[in-house]
Amino acid sequence: MRRPGPMIPPLSVTDAQRAVLEGWLRRRPTAQASAQRSRIVLECAGGHSIMEVSLRLRIAPDTVRTWRRCFIEWGLDGLCDDPRPGVPRKITVPCTASPGSGVRNSSPSSTQKPRLTCRFT
């Protein structure tokens, strides 16, 4: 016999929030992670349980719990990525050049493909 888990707070989405979430799903350049978070919130707002959402979207229940909780605590801002720690990478000029103009290995053999090199600073 299964024991019931703890009661989870209800997830309510306003019309404005729903419009933004659906917009993130429809936009082509949206990152897949943001689109998945939007799907999670919209499914949970539709009254589906955490397990139903995880099975429908084929993701782990802990992922659904995490993004559901973030949306409840911080709203739409909770679904955005935090900036990564450290100094952002900068690409030097040779990496932005065309592939044919890159620096090649000094002696490529017949079995080895030429390798372009670039340096991140």
Q: Which pLDDT band, with edges at 50, 70 and 90, does 97 fall under?
A: very low
Please tell me which residue, 101 or 112, carries the higher pLDDT value: 112
Q: What is the tens place of the pLDDT at every residue in 11-32? A: 889 999 999 999 988 888 878 8
How distant is the alpha carbon of residue 33 from its chain centre?
2
Please tell me which residue, 6 or 27, carries the higher pLDDT value: 27
Predicted local confidence at residue 22, as pLDDT: 92
Write the CB contacts of 37 (distance below 8 Å, at least 6 apart in sequence). Answer: 67, 79
What is the C-alpha separation between 40 and 51, in angstroms, rounded? 11
